[in-house]
């Protein structure tokens, strides 16, 4: 039995305007799982993912990560815990004017003093490691180009390389392929899956595309109206379940 790496208990998020984005999320995640979260627009997928590293502050609940509650962590503790959590965003979040390799080096910032990071003082070994990670995502020939000269799919592969360089134990990817065409989407998902298998990352990905979710996930979690509506392996995600996840209104829990 694989070890539980993340245990989420009674997680709730109510925004200041009263929107109950997460009502009561309970989820236990094992090391090495590749989980895809699906659900209609506004279901709470993004809020859920961003709550895990507190980019969105939970209103209540527990998020036990490596045995410690992220929700209760003070600033210093949170910074330390975040080193262990890689994040991949829909909009890539690269520093556009900097070369690709520098963006990959930024994966190490959580481990450096603030002034060293600000001055970009990376040593030879760190640069070589970043270049070799770029090679692993097929971008060795793009290392010294400005990040914004790359295509969207390439930029997302740089973001994957940056996450690999961070050596986290878990990766959160919020709609990583939402702004990409189907071919680039496939390439990005392939590299993400490969990185997670090779590095043993536990991965949670929000996706709009159910076909991609079925293709890449070990386990699918369907969120609807701020609650978990489905949680199981791909083979249990029938067309009926998919339809009811995406149907308007609130129906009984199918599982
Ligand atoms: N900053 C905010 N203030 C108030 N309400 C918010 C805020 N951010 C999100 N919401 C609301 O919380 C609910 C969940 O939003 P969230 O973005 O988590 O959903 P989602 O499933 O990721 O949607 P999408 O697939 O469209 O990105 C929605 O009703 C949304 O309008």
pLDDT of residue 122: 78
* CA 188/CA 235 separation, integer angstroms: 23
**CA–centroid distance, residue 42 to ligand 1 (Å):** 5
ipTM above 0.85, yes or no: yes
pLDDT of residue 118: 63
* Residue 29, SS3 per DSSP: strand
Query: In the chain, what's the furthest Cα-to-Cα distance?
Result: 58
* CA 100/CA 142 separation, integer angstroms: 7
**Choice from 15, 178, 222 to test ligand 1 binding pocket (greatest atom count within 8 A of CB):** 15
- Per-residue pLDDT at 85 exceeds 80: yes
**CA–centroid distance, residue 227 to ligand 1 (Å):** 13
Residue 251 pLDDT level (bands cut at 50, 70, 90): low
**Choice from 45, 49, 57, 222 to test ligand 1 binding pocket (greatest atom count within 8 A of CB):** 45
pTM of this prediction?
0.93
**CA–centroid distance, residue 49 to ligand 1 (Å):** 11
Pocket of ligand 1 (CB under 6 A): 15, 17, 19, 21, 39, 41-47
- Per-residue pLDDT at 121 exceeds 90: no
- Residue 17 CA: nearest ligand 1 atom is 4
Residue 60 pLDDT level (bands cut at 50, 70, 90): very high
**CA–centroid distance, residue 10 to ligand 1 (Å):** 19
Full strand arrangement of the beta sheet holding 20-30: 20-30, 4-14, 60-65, 68-69
Tokens of 197: 């298998």
* CA 89/CA 188 separation, integer angstroms: 12
- Per-residue pLDDT at 253 exceeds 60: no
Per-residue pLDDT tens digits for 179-227: 999 999 999 999 999 999 999 999 999 999 999 999 999 999 999 999 9
Note the CATH number of domain 4-246.
Answer: 3.40.50.300
Question: Which has the closest alpha carbon to 138: 158, 163, 120, 116?
Answer: 158
- Per-residue pLDDT at 22 exceeds 70: yes
Please name the residue whose Cα sits nearest to atom 31 of ligand 1: 42
**Kind of pairing, strands 219-224 and 227-233?**
antiparallel
* CA 93/CA 12 separation, integer angstroms: 27
pLDDT of residue 250: 59
- Per-residue pLDDT at 111 exceeds 80: no
* CA 165/CA 177 separation, integer angstroms: 21
Q: Which of 33-37, 198-202, 207-211, 249-253 is the least confident region?
A: 249-253
């Amino acid at each position: 039995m694989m070890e539980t790496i993340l245990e989420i208990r009674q997680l709730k998020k109510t925004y200041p305007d009263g929107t109950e984005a997460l009502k009561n999320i309970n989820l236990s995640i094992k090391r090495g799982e590749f989980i895809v979260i699906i659900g209609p627009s506004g279901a709470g997928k993004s809020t859920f993912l961003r709550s895990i590293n507190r980019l969105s502050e939970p209103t209540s609940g527990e998020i036990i990560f490596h045995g410690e509650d992220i929700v209760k962590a003070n600033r210093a503790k949170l910074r330390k815990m975040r080193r262990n959590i890689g994040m991949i965003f829909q909009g890539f979040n690269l520093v556009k004017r900097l070369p690709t390799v520098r963006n990959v080096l930024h994966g190490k910032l959580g481990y450096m003093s603030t002034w060293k990071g600000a001055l970009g003082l990376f040593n030879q070994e760190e640069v070589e490691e970043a270049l070799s990670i770029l090679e692993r995502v097929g971008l060795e020939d793009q290392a010294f180009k400005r990040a914004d000269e790359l295509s969207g799919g390439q930029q997302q592969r740089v973001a994957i390389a940056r996450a690999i360089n961070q050596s986290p134990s878990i990766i959160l990817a919020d709609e990583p392929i939402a702004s990409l065409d189907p071919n680039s989407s496939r390439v990005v998902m392939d590299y993400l899956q490969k990185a997670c298998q090779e590095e043993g990352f536990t991965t949670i990905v929000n996706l709009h595309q159910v076909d991609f979710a079925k293709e890449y996930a070990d386990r699918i979690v369907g969120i609807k109206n701020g609650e978990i509506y489905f949680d199981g392996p791909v083979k249990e995600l029938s067309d009926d379940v998919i339809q009811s996840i995406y149907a308007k209104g609130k129906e009984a829990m199918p599982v």
